[in-house]
């Protein structure tokens, strides 16, 4: 059970490992783009490529999904970013239950957007946890973990790609140990945190925050919904940045130096803006942007 790109390496690994995949559950096709073309989820595309039966229930609690599951008759269900909450009767129907591959080191960052919030929160490391699912939100017993360091240049998109591959590896090891009877579930203990769903409401940069916090904001929201700021009376997206050894006088101040743009933050340290996107325009590096868009106010709002 999975839907977006993050789920694809796990399905591919199940195929490559030679497991009998009795069915793939994924979200219904959705309209995309300017013309609203009905588009299948990435997981469905991969499943169809290998001739695997695809199930796309709209609701999970009206009995339809359970009947689909009974038709597929799996011994084990692997859940990776499916995007729907599974009711108790589905969680407990398969012989070995449902195992979730979650993109954080539980109990940190339960919820919908753990990859982005790992960066937004300034964490130095994150990872993937396999978990025996229960009725709670990412509260089940932990099985295996993989860890990764988050460096200063990593954004949510690059971290997503790394963790999706790690997820496939953790899943593989979890199933191998399950087959051998070696899995040792561990209760989640300690303080939990919650990674809420992202929205455009959190896009605006708060220039009163430190340079590191602003940098985390910009890279944590790439490539959606993207950090934004007011510039010369218009909204621009700030897509890539890096910490800079530059000081300023006031939060939001813009320093232009030889085709480079620096934004001063609340601690009066600056971040360098590397890629910017004006409304209804393509993203471009700052040097190209400045050639066609002379900055007049020298201040971000």
The CATH number of the domain where 260 resides is what?
3.10.25.10
Domain residues for the domain of 31 are 5-195
Are residue 76 and residue 225 in the same domain, yes or no?
A: no
- Residue 54 tokens read as 């695809």
The CATH number of the domain where 48 resides is what?
3.40.50.170
Q: Say if 62 falls within a structural domain.
A: yes
> Average per-residue pLDDT in the chain?
97
Position 294 confidence tier, pLDDT thresholds 50, 70, 90 = confident
Compute the average pLDDT of residues 214-220.
Answer: 98
Are residue 124 and residue 260 in the same domain, yes or no?
A: no
Are residue 128 and residue 239 in the same domain, yes or no?
A: no
pLDDT for the residue numbered 33: 86
**CB-CB contact of 66 with 57 (8 Å):** no
Total of domains in the chain: 2
CA dist list (Å): 240 to 123, 204, 274, 277, 289: 18, 14, 5, 10, 13
8-25 per-position pLDDT tens digit: 999 999 999 999 999 999
Compute the average pLDDT of residues 137-164.
Answer: 97
Output the pTM of the full model: 0.95
- Quick check: 34 pLDDT over 90? no
Are residue 88 and residue 25 in the same domain, yes or no?
A: yes
Are residue 169 and residue 209 in the same domain, yes or no?
A: no
Q: Say if 299 falls within a structural domain.
A: no
Q: Say if 178 falls within a structural domain.
A: yes
**CB-CB contact of 126 with 159 (8 Å):** yes
Q: Say if 297 falls within a structural domain.
A: no
Give 301's contacts (C-beta < 8 A, 6+ positions apart).
Answer: 229, 230, 231, 252
Are residue 115 and residue 22 in the same domain, yes or no?
A: yes
Are residue 186 and residue 89 in the same domain, yes or no?
A: yes
Position 296 confidence tier, pLDDT thresholds 50, 70, 90 = confident
CA dist list (Å): 14 to 11, 97, 272: 5, 17, 42
């Amino acid at each position: 059970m999975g839907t977006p790109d993050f789920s694809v390496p796990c399905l591919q690994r199940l195929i490559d490992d030679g497991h009998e995949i009795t069915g793939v559950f994924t979200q219904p096709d959705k309209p995309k783009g300017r013309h609203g073309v009905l588009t299948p989820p990435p997981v469905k595309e991969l499943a169809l490529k290998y001739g695997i039966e695809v199930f796309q229930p709209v609701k999970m609690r009206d009995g339809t999904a359970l009947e689909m599951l009974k038709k597929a008759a799996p011994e084990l269900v692997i859940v990776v970013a499916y995007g729907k909450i599974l009711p108790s009767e589905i969680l407990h129907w398969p012989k070995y239950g449902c195992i979730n591959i979650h993109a954080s080191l539980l109990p940190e960052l339960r919820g919908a957007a753990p990859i982005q919030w790992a960066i937004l929160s300034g964490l130095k490391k994150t990872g993937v946890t396999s978990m025996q699912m229960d009725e709670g939100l990412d509260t089940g017993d932990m099985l295996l973990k993989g860890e990764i360091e988050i460096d200063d240049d990593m954004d949510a998109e690059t971290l997503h790609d790394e963790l999706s591959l790690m997820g496939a590896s953790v899943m593989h090891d979890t199933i191998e140990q399950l087959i051998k009877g070696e899995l040792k579930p561990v209760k989640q203990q300690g303080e939990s945190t919650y990674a809420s769903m992202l929205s455009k409401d959190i896009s605006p940069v708060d220039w009163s925050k430190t340079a590191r916090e602003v940098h985390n904001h910009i890279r944590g929201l790439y490539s959606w919904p993207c950090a934004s700021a007011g510039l010369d009376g218009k909204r621009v997206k700030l897509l890539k940045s890096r910490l800079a050894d530059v000081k300023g006088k006031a939060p939001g101040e813009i320093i232009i130096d030889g085709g480079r743009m620096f934004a001063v933050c609340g601690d009066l340290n600056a971040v360098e803006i590397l890629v910017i996107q004006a409304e209804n325009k393509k993203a471009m590096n700052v040097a190209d942007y400045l050639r066609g868009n002379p900055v007049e106010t020298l201040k971000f709002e």
